[in-house]
Amino acid sequence: MAADSPPDFRLRLRRDSNAVIAWLSDMWTRRWFRWLGYLALAGILFLALIWVVFARDLPSVDQLRDYEPPLPTMVRDAEGKPVHSYARERRVQLEYSEYPQLLVRSFLAAEDKTFFSHGGIDYPGIASAIITNLTNSGRPIGASTITQQVAKNLLLTNELSYRRKVREAILAMRIEDALTKEQILELYLNEIPLGRRAFGVQAASRAYFDKDVDQLQLHEMAFLAILPKAPEKYGRARFEGEAIARRNFVLGSMQDNGWISTAQRDAARAMPLGLTNTGNTAIAQVGGYYMEEVRRQLIAQFGETADKGPHSVYAGGLWVRTPYDGKMQQGATMALRKGLQRYDAGKGWSGPIARIEADDQWQSRLASSFIGIDYDNWRVAAVLSKSGGAARIGFANGDTGTLPASAATMGYRKTGGSAFSAMRPGDLIVVKSNGSSYALRNIPEVSGGMVVESPHSGRIYAMQGGFDVRLSPFNRATQAERQPGSTIKPFVYAAALDNGMTPATMIVDGPFCVYQGASLGNKCFRNFGGGGGSGEHTMRWGLEQSRNLMTVRTASQVGMEPVVETIQTMGIGKHEPYLSTALGAGTTTVEKITNAYAMLANHGRALKPRVIDYAQDRRGKVIFPVNWKPCEGCNKKDWDGRPMPRFARSGKQLMDPITAYQVVHMLEGVVQRGTAVRLRDLGVPLFGKTGTTTGPNDVWFVGGTPDVIAGMYIGFDQPRSMGGYAQGGSYAAPIFKDFALAALADRQPIPFSAPKGVRMVRIDRQSGRRVYGSWPGTDPKASIIWEAFKPESEPRRTIREEEIKPIKTPRRATGGASQKGSTGRTDSDFLDDRGGII
């Protein structure tokens, strides 16, 4: 038996294998079995075809778990309030729990009643849609569930085809496996397009009702729920009836599902739509040159669109904190505009601001020009036609009106005649309504820029780069390189102070010429107005009166190398070492020169002007500046008994702090009795300097208080003479005055503080000699003043009788030089005011 076992074993295996093949062969002879085989093969081929045609290149649903929608950048002001957004679409992302349940049910009633019970596909709905499409030759209808809409909106395209519907269904089933129902609804409610450039329910709630979702009433929720079917239709006035009917259907569906009562349904149906056209008033959208500068810097840092990185301006969802101060911005804007109009008054119409074709497409041409104005109810209009004594004008919203010739009588400055006669169809002009018709208004041809900055941190509170950014986007506050004129002189004298001179140093105000070689001969300087000089005066007097001859003489004595080095160190610009540079022949911007003055007030410490405090990503992490650190302990709920956190002085010391204070102290005299004397009646501690360039082409003023520094210029974009009467004191200084009255009037006045080591000495303002036995009075023109000196540089005691004897000064109604007993003030009183000088 043992010898026969192996053959039996082999025969048994061979018999079993042959049995399977034999069985299959036997079954294949039967027709029904062959048909089953063919059907199985067809099914396999069909599934393979589905994969190749529909599912082979479908995107992965895994990306939805960490999906980050494109979100706009939101800008906050100095107090943290949203004031602007950079957006091409309205988008706000909320969590599912932040949506009211009644609002969620409104969308379920309108779009997908069985959402919480199906697996991503509504099979009865699909069958009904197929039957309808086969019997209807119109636009195909679908039966998309909310899950399918998420698949289409986030992973697919809007292609109208059955292929897309199949792909959509496949993705919907995958999404249902990957995400919870609540996660799917959150994606849907945040991303669904709802018209008025709004994506997501919160954005639409603001666009249509100017409310947040938690403030919506039932009838408003139902209206938003109808929008996915026709987002650009139901929000239009001419489709109001259809919108109400569709809204009421949704309300009825909610009642049928037991989500609201019959009384709630009837009350909501009785309500009007109540749509608003004001947009989102929760964000001020202040715009202007300031926000355009913020946008420019953000784009340079992070890029403009999503393809430039995850933190792009128009998709990254940044939160940007700025130093923007609305009150100061309004004050700066109105002050600069008033100054431009003050100069331009009486000069006639400057002409159209632009031109378009006055054809049947004029409205779209005007709207696409993006030219506008935000001032005193002025509007930009296009001249459409002229006939008789009136012109027909049109506006970007399609409205038209009439401009009578009698309302456009101002002279046309370029050719003479009236402005009305110079107008042509297609001209873009500025008008203001006067009831039944419109009157012509003029945009000043002259322009300018203004910056308002903190001398403690370099934060820019306000910025105005022209009359209106929509008329001219060129920012003259940061981009216009202009000659600073006499506003450069404080830095010339700062170089002199660092090289052995003092504010009491006597300098000759007299003819000064420089030999330039045989071919050029002598270059002779002169004072403004052509004056030849007035003798010897103190450095202070020369700065207060802005004497050119004293400035170039000082620069020549010190040497131009230290002067241009000081100018460059203070960030004004890199200038050539020519004597004319000491009179402002180089170029700089308003932002740079204003920051330099701010550094003077900051005791010579470096400041970096900025319009961005910090930027956060969509999750709140600070990503700019890179080395940003929070203030630990600054936001404690309760006081812990320890000293208040105080910021240490930051910034590199660019100038000797005593030198900086000496310059500021002399510049206070410019306001008290110099070229900016018209600012004296503001009654607060001020320093500053006017400037007038050759021509004069530009007029300047830069200065301010210990807390706020402002700089501005006005001039033509293509530099030309403004007229011999134009001076910084007569046109630029009043701009600062208007700004201060509007924006700084409620601030507590404080004096400029002096750094450690300054020696305050009583001197005679005219001679610079030290005075004993008398004290300065309240009269700005008093002969005795306090002067700031560096240690060991003040005038020495003398045995000469004329220098020991107290100087007698005439009494003045406002109080002149006085004895100690008559005023009650002592040296110590003055020193206390200056911050405790030692």
**Could you give the residue numbers annotated as active site?**
111, 486
Candidates 693, 726, 602, 710; CA nearest to 654 is 602
Candidates 163, 142, 143, 136; CA nearest to 58 is 163
74, 97, 279, 478 from 209: Cα distances, Å: 20, 21, 8, 39
Q: How far apart are the first and last CA of the chain?
A: 126
Residues 6+ apart with CB under 8 A from 527: 509, 533, 547, 548, 549
How far is Cα 409 from Cα 349, in angstroms, rounded to an integer?
Answer: 9
- If residue 785 lies in a helix (H) or strand (E), which one and from where to where? strand 784-789
Q: Which tokens is 48 given?
A: 């393979």
How far is Cα 671 from Cα 678, in angstroms, rounded to an integer?
Answer: 7
- Angle in degrees, CA 461, 92, 207, rounded to 5: 90
Reduced to 3 states, what is the DSSP secondary structure of residue 687? strand
Residues 6+ apart with CB under 8 A from 685: 668, 705, 706, 749, 750, 751, 752
DSSP string, 735-746: HHHHHHHHHTTT
Long-range contacts of 48-57 (CB under 8 A, 24+ apart): 50/166, 53/163, 54/163, 54/166, 54/167, 54/170, 55/167, 55/170
Longest dimension (CA), the chain: 153
At residue 496, what are phi and psi to the nearest 5 degrees?
A: -65, -40
How far is Cα 269 from Cα 260, in angstroms, rounded to an integer?
Answer: 12
- Yes or no: say if 779 and 812 are a contact pair by the CB < 8 Å rule: yes
- Yes or no: say if 437 and 401 are a contact pair by the CB < 8 Å rule: yes
- Yes or no: say if 325 and 613 are a contact pair by the CB < 8 Å rule: no
For 775, counting Cβ atoms within 10 Å of its Cβ (0-12 exposed, 13-18 middle, 19+ buried), the class is buried
Reduced to 3 states, what is the DSSP secondary structure of residue 68? coil
Sign of the torsion formed by the C-alpha atoms of 464, 466, 469 and 474: negative
Sign of the torsion formed by the C-alpha atoms of 573, 488, 721 and 429: positive
Sign of the torsion formed by the C-alpha atoms of 522, 690, 761 and 657: negative
Three-class SS string for 474-495? CCCCCCCCECCHHHHHHHHHHH
